[in-house]
């Protein structure tokens, strides 16, 4: 994609993009459980399979991460990604993909309860890297008909999950070719650590998406990341949209990002 992107014109998601349409084929969304050697228990994730899903086909996989106040149900409860995705499939605007909604707080009690900013709970968002790479991805790849090379694997998320997507994705480009961060939080590593070798990163990325609402108090994180990427000529899409640290921005992020991947 174009670097820093004066050329990328985000088409605003059309009215109704997040409303259930009648008479279209629907995907399915449900909860799975997988063994986690990282946490030492069984962990939950939600999985969306697209309309017409068939074990005879091969699918790409998007791992879509939640924020600090959420768990594996957050996107489902607040963003209804299955509606957005079903509508995009009805318009033939998405490649065949499975969307996995993990729990990004990798610790024994991974519910968003008590002090969600407690150090051990924030640390668990870092621990999630091992759970994702060594436990969840292998589980998905063993149990769904999915393509397993980096060009068929994407990682995106909102806020804490946006920071995780940048931290984990950019540091594991052998695993992910498509990375999206919607309103990334202060867990986002400094740009020099995210992208120590800009040319190498640029060569490996299929897409790096960064978006944030103009009213978001965490926008300095996106600004700093975007500035570094631009200075070092790392192609990325940067969208500063009207909005706050909130669902309209994140749902639009999913709508826009999912159309561009695979």
Residues at the contact surface with ligand FER, assessed by CB under 6 A: 67-68, 122, 159-160, 185-187, 218
Least Cβ distance, residue 225 to ligand FER (angstroms): 15
- 4-9 contacts: CB < 8 A, separation 24 or more? 4/226, 4/229, 4/230, 4/236, 4/238, 5/236, 5/237, 5/238, 8/237, 8/239
Task: Decide whether 96 or 213 has the Cβ nearer to ligand FER.
Answer: 213
Least Cβ distance, residue 139 to ligand FER (angstroms): 25
b/e burial code for range 68-102 (CB count within 10 A of at least 16 → b): bebbbbbbbebbbbbbbbbbbbeeeebebbbbbbb
254's tokens: 């999913």
Task: Decide whether 4 or 188 has the Cβ nearer to ligand FER.
Answer: 188
Query: In what order do the strands lie in the sheet containing 153-158?
Result: 28-36, 41-49, 97-101, 60-65, 153-158, 178-182, 207-213, 237-241
Alpha helices in the chain (DSSP H): 74, 81-90, 119-131, 137-143, 160-170, 191-194, 198-204, 219-231, 247-260
Least Cβ distance, residue 45 to ligand FER (angstroms): 18
Task: Decide whether 68 or 84 has the Cβ nearer to ligand FER.
Answer: 68
Task: Decide whether 5 or 171 has the Cβ nearer to ligand FER.
Answer: 171
Least Cβ distance, residue 176 to ligand FER (angstroms): 20
Least Cβ distance, residue 159 to ligand FER (angstroms): 3
Alpha-carbon gap, residue 214 to 236, rounded angstroms: 18
Task: Decide whether 112 or 173 has the Cβ nearer to ligand FER.
Answer: 112
Least Cβ distance, residue 156 to ligand FER (angstroms): 14
Task: Decide whether 27 or 161 has the Cβ nearer to ligand FER.
Answer: 161
């Amino acid at each position: 994609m174009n670097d820093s992107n004066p050329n990328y014109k985000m088409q605003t998601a059309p009215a109704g993009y997040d409303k259930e349409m009648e008479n279209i084929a629907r995907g399915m969304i449900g909860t799975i459980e997988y063994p986690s050697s990282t946490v030492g228990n069984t962990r939950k994730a939600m999985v969306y399979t697209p309309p017409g899903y068939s074990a005879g086909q091969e699918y790409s996989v998007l791992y879509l991460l939640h924020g600090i106040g959420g768990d594996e149900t957050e996107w489902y409860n607040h963003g209804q990604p299955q509606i957005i995705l079903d509508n995009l499939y009805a318009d033939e605007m998405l490649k065949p993909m499975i969307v996995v909604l993990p729990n990004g707080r990798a610790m024994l009690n991974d519910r968003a309860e008590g002090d969600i900013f407690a150090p051990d709970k924030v640390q668990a968002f870092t621990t999630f890297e091992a759970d994702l790479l060594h436990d969840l991805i292998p589980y998905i790849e063993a149990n769904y008909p999915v393509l397993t090379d980096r060009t068929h694997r994407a990682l995106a998320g909102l806020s804490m999950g946006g920071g995780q997507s940048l931290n984990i994705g950019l540091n594991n480009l052998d695993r992910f070719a498509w990375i999206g961060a919607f309103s990334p939080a202060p867990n986002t590593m400094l740009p020099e650590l995210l992208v120590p070798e800009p040319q190498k990163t640029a060569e490996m990325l299929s897409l790096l998406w960064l978006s944030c609402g103009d009213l978001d108090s965490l926008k300095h994180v996106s600004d700093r990341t975007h500035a570094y990427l631009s200075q070092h000529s790392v192609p990325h899409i940067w969208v500063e949209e009207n909005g706050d640290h909130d669902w309209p921005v994140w749902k639009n992020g999913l709508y826009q990002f999912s159309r561009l991947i695979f």
